[in-house]
Structure 1
Amino acid sequence: MIMKQNQTKWSDKKVRLSSWAGYFLPLLLSTLTPLLAQDTLSFGGIYDLPGAEVRASYTPVSPLAQSFTIEEVYRLPGTFYDPARLVALLPGVVQTNDQANHLSVRGNTPNANLWRLNGLAIVNPNHTANAGTFYDFPTLSGGGVNAISAQMLGNSGFLAGGLPVEYGFATGGTFDLRLRPGSKTRRKYQAQAGFIGFDLMAEGPIGDSGKTSYLVNGRYSFTGLLADMGVDFGGEEIRFYDINAHLDHTTEKGRIGAFAIFGNSTNDFLAPDPAESEITEQKELFDIEFSNDLAVMGFDFDRQIGGGTLSGGYAFSDISAFRDQYFRMNSPAGRAVQTNNLSRNNANLKWRETIGRNGELTIGAEYLRETGGISYVFEGGSRDIFQNGGVTADAVSPFVSYKMVTGPYALEGGLRYSFYSASTNKSIAEPRLRITRRGDVAQVTLAAEINSQRSLAAGYTSSFGGEASNVPAVATQQVSLAYGRSLGKLNTRITLFGQRTPEELAASALAFGPEEFLVSANNLLEIGPDLTFDKTTTTRRYGVELEAGGGRKSEGWYYRGNLTLLRAETEQLDGSWSKDRYSSDFITKLTVGREWEGQDKKERVRTYGLNLALIAYGGERYGETPLFEPSPTDDILLYFAGQDLRNGFINSTGTYFRPDLRLYKTKIRPKTTTTLALDLQNVAGIENLANVYYDAFLEQPNERYQLGLIPVLSYRVVWR
């Protein structure tokens, strides 16, 4: 249920900017402020865990890419071996609910993000896509656990902006995940057991040529195993499993790889028997069944031809979810059934060639087909309602760019032109510009670009009762300027950013009298039944990020901290600007860690490690609780009452604060490396408000809280 809450006018907080130029001129001026290549700031330096295989470093597709090593995923607290949760420690990023890995990037909805695997666009690669949402409905952008195992990943990256021309279809963040090749010299095995799940991984050469390798990982959830053994978690059972595979073949002039990801998850809730226990909230009136299936298959290649490199690939991905909520007792309030699915076919082809001594030309094209649908069936009570929508649409994006280096300057200009099919038949020009000046101790980068993305979540809810082929694409104008420099052993960076979407989809939250409040698609996460996005408005996000990091794991303490100040806003009919759901005002994080290396009694290398993360942000915004008081025996739609947004997102969940701690011990033996680790998410057990909703059973507003202390014990063995 999305909640209905209070209404207040934003006239006292108006920011009147009369035109595109009036908004972007200050941003371009703010652009006279700068960035050190983002991959130079790390969580203690680029390194591997003791005894781990050294992997090829991530080559950023953009100087604005935040690179991270997979060893950081293993080492930092609260990641649960999920790269998305590691990204949540970067500046400008908010994990919207600590039950899941949905990420709001610089005030954008998580629906603005895109996942790429080996450079190819895929659907949401997560289990339990309904985790941490208000309605408990599935989303298109995140979930409880990533189905791509960290044991499969090589060093990867994340882009909040500064996309190269070959990357598109995202107006928020882009996850640039890379699968690592298996060992081509000998067979290796890994086993990992913990409160998240059980992993078994195998890798090694195929044949004797030393050119082909395999990498396979299987995982089953720990909670699923306990449920199979009859352990009761308060009537709730969560299960998931996944299988990952990657084949890699090296040739004299390049390589080719093939990959596959398959996963399934379920989340079932059995209402308590009122004869045995007291009902305390409306959820306990229902039995709820949820299932989530995922499939990703594809290949990628690169080959040197003459003086250039031809690269590309293809990926098919599909995710489907089913949720059935029905009263345990024979109540007239009825039943709610939701299904949604999305599949993507993505292909790209790119030619890159060096021109002269200092130039590089890139030319190519990307193709994307999206096919999906969503349906709601609300049965019982005073009415039966069936709502559905679907989409099948194509996009073709040719692109070209030229990069040159002259003295301390690196200049890159490009153009991506996206042709969207279906009834919109819309084409969007997407210019890209980056200018970088490198000095001995400092670097400045200016990036300006236009990115486009089809608004699937909003489009679904705009087309009930028919095909949703007319899901429009929106274009977002972005500019960022960053300045970074070294201050002794301390690396620092300041980044100013601004985004503007002039034709964002919007829904009307009607008010009494002639005025109405516009809810933009930038406030939408899960797809609910109470808003229809059939209007357009302008949205914007802007702010500043400050970051500093220093120390190295090999030298003692290491640390990385950041502070983001931001606003995310939607323009209203009277020209005023109202704060959006993810306008958290501030985001700050600090990570600190150290390792102590020594030897055990048998003179084997032994390492103890400690890592602490402190996370705080200004909370999530919401409207008022409903003005009416529904009866628990009335229409089931009353149990999805939603928020009363007629006066906007006027309330806040308040400052969110969470400390995470990770302790680990690693031992290196001649044939194995073992790691015993304890993760303590929210080690202080702080209560953070998640949302407020009107509970039809209690007949009053009720609060939901984020997770308290979550201990996760794990044990990992690597056989060499």
Structure 2
Amino acid sequence: MRSLLIIAGLSLLLSPCGYSQPTQTIRGKVVDDDSQAPLLGANVMILEAGPITGVITDESGSFIIEDVPVGRYTMLVSYVGYKSFIMRDILVGTGKEVFLDVGLKELLVEMEGVSVVANINKDQTINPMAGISARSFTVEETEKYPGSWGDPARMASNYAGVFPNGDIYNYIVIRGNSPHGLIWQMEGVPIPNPNHFTIPGATGGPISIVNNKLLTQSDFLTSAFPAEYSNGVSGVFDLRLRNGNNRKREYVAEIGLMGLEIGAEGPFIKEGNASYVINFRASFLGLVDELLWVEALPHYQDLNFKLNFPTKKGKISVFGFGGASHITGVQDDSAAVVPGYIRQVSETTGSKTGVLGIKHVHFLSNRTRIVSDMVLSTSRTFIEGDSLVNDAMTRRIVTNNYREDRLLVSSRLRTKLNAKNSMNIGFALENNIVDYMLDNEYIIYRGTAHGDSLVMLPARIYKDDKLFVLRGFLEWKHRFTNSLTLYTGLNYLRFFMNHSYALEPRASFQWRFTNRQSLSIGYGMHNQLHPFFYYLIKTFTTDDPWDRENYIETNRDLGFTKSHHFALGYDFSINPDLRFKAEVFNQMLYNVPVERRPSYFSLINMGAGSEDPIADSLINEGTGRNYGIEFTLEKFLSKRYYFLLTTSLLNSKYKGSDGILRNTAFNNDFNLNALFGYELPVRENSAIDFNIRTVAGGGRRIIPHDEEKTLQESDNVYVYDQAYESRMAPYFRVDTRVGYKYNGLRMRHEIAIDLTNITNRQNEWERRYNSSSKEIEMIYQQGFFFFMYYRINF
């Protein structure tokens, strides 16, 4: 209630005494959905702005509608010979022009009497080759969904088939798969993990580096994805960056618990078509740490940008992001108690990630284009541990560094042969340079003449500068009729270090048997490399702890993890704003790395706990299976409210080298998600939105402790024979978000507060031995937490 009163008070302060209706400009571009060629003469109309307001696109497919009163609108885009497209819930506000990218589908000639209605699916994918288990998402959804915090990965946990894997990190479990099976792409090319505070081989983190303000509508895929996506068995985030405004300069500033942020966009020169958009953020809590010396607060900074240079027959763009983060914590060293001395251990963990890419799009004709990329990326994770005595560092006892650099070049030919057939073909070649140093082993000699003596052992170093990976694909889309479409493709993946390769067929079929109902079926074979660290693990062949020269690399010949995806979907548009969707899925995994000796261990469970074990002598003999059903009932925002209800039922099993069928660590059994939002107008130029989300799911699977041995040895000892039979209590969380937007004549003000886990429920994470209390204690997930910000666009 206090938050509501604050927002209501601010709304009164921001409202002027006099009133003048603010307006804004809507701009955009209309293209052929398959060829991306501009459509000259397309009709673009606003349906609610009093008398019908409309314009016609020019030779570049562009349109401009000026002096549109602020508010939400529905727009209709039509073109002779193409299926009309309806866009609902377009938010027009001051401070920032609205830009719309619209792709229209060409109609096939059919018999008279067959009616074709306008396309109104708000979640239609940007990728025209996606036939099943795919949807798009908008920037607004990453903000208005409670608990999303502007993060696409956290937002996706609202979707069917997606299970959150902990509150602190944004790891997501898709249909029972390890979060490490996720593919991240930006501007059509693979990128490293785009998150702060990451760990080696991971695909998530606590805070996203990617700033959602630079995103345009992007895709999220969960099964049997098109052939152009490679090296993943779980799902795909295909992020698209928007171009900056090439007509006028616009700015954004924000202060909030997540950080201080500034952004700018505009043309490089007046009357020019080239543009830029850039955004920088620094953590607010990190600044508090610097000023007040508060311990264990996160420090992070990130920069996102895109530069766009149109050419006569295409465009050149430069894009990228960079992020740096670290956090330092200090705890008492309970193993070393000396009278008169305070013995402590300080640990600093962090990461640095950067991507710089250049993209060239060249149209050979209106139907054919070549897209070429060169991308340089780097990712570094580090852990530094120091021994402290009376707050002074005595020596460094841990120095772990994991660095991965990559240079990728790719080229894709995309062509629309005719109204029925489209084809894409392409390749990507990358070289990865990795350098891992683990300096965390030591020997303690007790009872020497000078007391206990700690001697560091030589560091373990794993490096390789020729980890080449080749990807290739061929895709073909054939439209039998306006309602019947076949998607097929092949993907080729080769890892040169050990000569592993795979040829993966992909296919899906979509039948829209009425104007409002469709059936889809899809299959895909998918392969995935393992984190490079696993290939380079050294098994030392002597008992001498100082020997780092005699070893064998027992994992060097590991093959890919492989899987078959099957999916069957039904989609029913109950009305223009209400949709029901159901999907049945079955995934069969094989060639999963497991230990040579009989054991429970399998990389299928990678990412299940706080740390992933380092395992050598692995072989590709593990299997797994994920199957289940999902239901979605979604009302898109109209008449001031929206809701999203999802239910997922899952069974996830695997076999390690012991041949025993077990639950995977991610077999949560079920997940229920309910999301509701309402927007309350406050005069014509402002609104308050209320949003609430409830999520419930099965408890986490765990490996139980051998309690007697744990207490005897003062360390965690587990009963591996009972791996993942036990589970934590069921998961439950309620989040809410309240926001206020006010449109001034030239500036838009926004304030929002996001309350996470408002019931402060203690969701169980894991049990761990505490050396201070000498007990096995329960570790809980995130309790009540709030996030708020104030933003201006001008």
Q: Could you tell me the TM-score, scaled by structure 1's length?
A: 0.83
Q: CA deviation at 1:201?
A: 0.1
Match for residue 54 of structure 1? 98
Whether the 8 Å CA contact 1:523–1:582 is kept in 2: the answer is no
Whether the 8 Å CA contact 1:374–1:460 is kept in 2: the answer is no
Structure 2: where are the runs of 5+ without partners? Answer: 1-86, 102-124, 335-342, 446-454, 540-550
Q: CA deviation at 1:631?
A: 8.5
The reply to whether residue 715 of structure 1 matches residue 715 of structure 2 is no
Match for residue 703 of structure 2? 623
Match for residue 148 of structure 1? 210
Q: 1:665 aligns with which of 734, 737, 740?
A: 740
Q: How do residues 12-31 of structure 1 correspond to structure 2 at under 5 angstroms?
A: none
Q: CA deviation at 1:562?
A: 0.6
Q: 1:94 to 1:343 in 2, by over 3 A?
A: farther
1:629-659 Cα deviation digits (max 9, x unpaired): 5689x9xxx76x4744233212212211111
Q: 1:48 to 1:71 in 2, by over 3 A?
A: farther
Q: 1:479 aligns with which of 541, 566, 571?
A: 566
Q: How do residues 169-208 of structure 1 correspond to structure 2 at under 5 angstroms?
A: 169-208=231-270
Query: Which amino acid counterpart does residue 562 of structure 2 have in structure 1?
Result: A
Whether the 8 Å CA contact 2:131–2:522 is kept in 1: the answer is no
Match for residue 337 of structure 2? none
- Identify which of structures 1 and 2 has the higher relative contact order when contacts are C-alpha pairs closer than 8 Å and 6+ apart: 1
Q: Tell me the SS of whatever aligns to 1:227.
A: helix
Query: Which amino acid counterpart does residue 421 of structure 1 have in structure 2?
Result: F
Aligned counterparts of 1:317 and 1:334: Cα–Cα separation in 2: 30
Q: 2:605 aligns with which of 495, 519, 522?
A: 522
Whether the 8 Å CA contact 1:56–1:155 is kept in 2: the answer is no
Query: Which amino acid counterpart does residue 429 of structure 2 have in structure 1?
Result: Y
Match for residue 613 of structure 1? 693
Q: Tell me the SS of whatever aligns to 2:616.
A: coil
Aligned counterparts of 1:642 and 1:112: Cα–Cα separation in 2: 28
Match for residue 9 of structure 1? none
Q: CA deviation at 1:671?
A: 0.7
Q: 1:389 to 1:529 in 2, by over 3 A?
A: farther
Q: How do residues 84-99 of structure 1 correspond to structure 2 at under 5 angstroms?
A: 84-99=153-168
Match for residue 679 of structure 2? 595
Q: How do residues 100-111 of structure 1 correspond to structure 2 at under 5 angstroms?
A: 100-111=169-180
Match for residue 583 of structure 2? 495
Fraction of identical pairs, as percent: 22
Whether the 8 Å CA contact 1:123–1:342 is kept in 2: the answer is no
Q: Report which stretch shifted further, 571-580 or 296-305.
A: 571-580
Whether the 8 Å CA contact 2:384–2:396 is kept in 1: the answer is no
Q: 1:311 to 1:642 in 2, by over 3 A?
A: farther
Q: CA deviation at 1:614?
A: 1.0
Q: 1:697 to 1:630 in 2, by over 3 A?
A: farther
Aligned counterparts of 2:153 and 2:175: Cα–Cα separation in 1: 15
Q: Which runs of 4+ in 1 moved over 6 A?
A: 330-334, 382-385
Q: Tell me the SS of whatever aligns to 1:545.
A: strand
Q: CA deviation at 1:527?
A: 5.4
Whether the 8 Å CA contact 1:417–1:429 is kept in 2: the answer is yes
Q: CA deviation at 1:347?
A: 2.7
Aligned counterparts of 1:176 and 1:75: Cα–Cα separation in 2: 20
Match for residue 225 of structure 1? 287
Q: 1:214 to 1:491 in 2, by over 3 A?
A: same
Aligned counterparts of 1:584 and 1:373: Cα–Cα separation in 2: 36
Q: Tell me the SS of whatever aligns to 2:131.
A: coil
Q: How do residues 283-362 of structure 1 correspond to structure 2 at under 5 angstroms?
A: 286-306=345-365, 307-328=367-388, 335-362=397-424
Q: Report which stretch shifted further, 144-153 or 212-221.
A: 144-153
Query: Which amino acid counterpart does residue 363 of structure 2 have in structure 1?
Result: Q
The reply to whether residue 690 of structure 1 matches residue 776 of structure 2 is no
Q: 1:557 to 1:533 in 2, by over 3 A?
A: farther
The reply to whether residue 538 of structure 1 matches residue 623 of structure 2 is yes
Q: 1:420 to 1:687 in 2, by over 3 A?
A: same
Q: CA deviation at 1:471?
A: 5.0
1:425-468 Cα deviation digits (max 9, x unpaired): 01201111011101311111111011111111772585456667
Whether the 8 Å CA contact 1:619–1:653 is kept in 2: the answer is yes
Whether the 8 Å CA contact 2:710–2:717 is kept in 1: the answer is no
Query: Which amino acid counterpart does residue 629 of structure 2 have in structure 1?
Result: V
Report how many residues are paired. 643
Match for residue 5 of structure 2? none
Q: How do residues 45-84 of structure 1 correspond to structure 2 at under 5 angstroms?
A: 47-48=90-91, 50-51=93-94, 53-57=97-101, 59-61=126-128, 62-64=130-132, 65-84=134-153
Query: Which amino acid counterpart does residue 59 of structure 1 have in structure 2?
Result: I
The reply to whether residue 649 of structure 1 matches residue 724 of structure 2 is yes
The reply to whether residue 112 of structure 1 matches residue 174 of structure 2 is no
Whether the 8 Å CA contact 1:621–1:650 is kept in 2: the answer is yes
Match for residue 593 of structure 2? 505
Q: 1:368 to 1:159 in 2, by over 3 A?
A: farther
Q: Tell me the SS of whatever aligns to 2:654.
A: strand
Query: Which amino acid counterpart does residue 295 of structure 1 have in structure 2?
Result: G
Q: Tell me the SS of whatever aligns to 2:292.
A: coil
Whether the 8 Å CA contact 1:500–1:539 is kept in 2: the answer is yes
Match for residue 705 of structure 1? 780
Match for residue 556 of structure 1? 640
Aligned counterparts of 2:613 and 2:572: Cα–Cα separation in 1: 49
Aligned counterparts of 2:162 and 2:578: Cα–Cα separation in 1: 22
Structure 1: where are the runs of 5+ without partners? Answer: 1-43, 131-137, 275-283
Aligned counterparts of 2:374 and 2:760: Cα–Cα separation in 1: 45
Aligned counterparts of 2:92 and 2:100: Cα–Cα separation in 1: 14
Q: CA deviation at 1:208?
A: 3.2
Whether the 8 Å CA contact 1:530–1:642 is kept in 2: the answer is no
Aligned counterparts of 1:194 and 1:105: Cα–Cα separation in 2: 31
Aligned counterparts of 2:789 and 2:394: Cα–Cα separation in 1: 47
Q: Could you tell me the TM-score, scaled by structure 2's length?
A: 0.76
Q: 1:683 to 1:244 in 2, by over 3 A?
A: same
Q: CA deviation at 1:367?
A: 2.0
Q: Report which stretch shifted further, 469-478 or 68-77.
A: 469-478
Whether the 8 Å CA contact 1:201–1:215 is kept in 2: the answer is yes
Whether the 8 Å CA contact 1:622–1:643 is kept in 2: the answer is no
Match for residue 6 of structure 1? none
Aligned counterparts of 2:306 and 2:603: Cα–Cα separation in 1: 40
Q: 1:588 to 1:328 in 2, by over 3 A?
A: farther
Match for residue 7 of structure 2? none
Aligned counterparts of 1:355 and 1:363: Cα–Cα separation in 2: 13
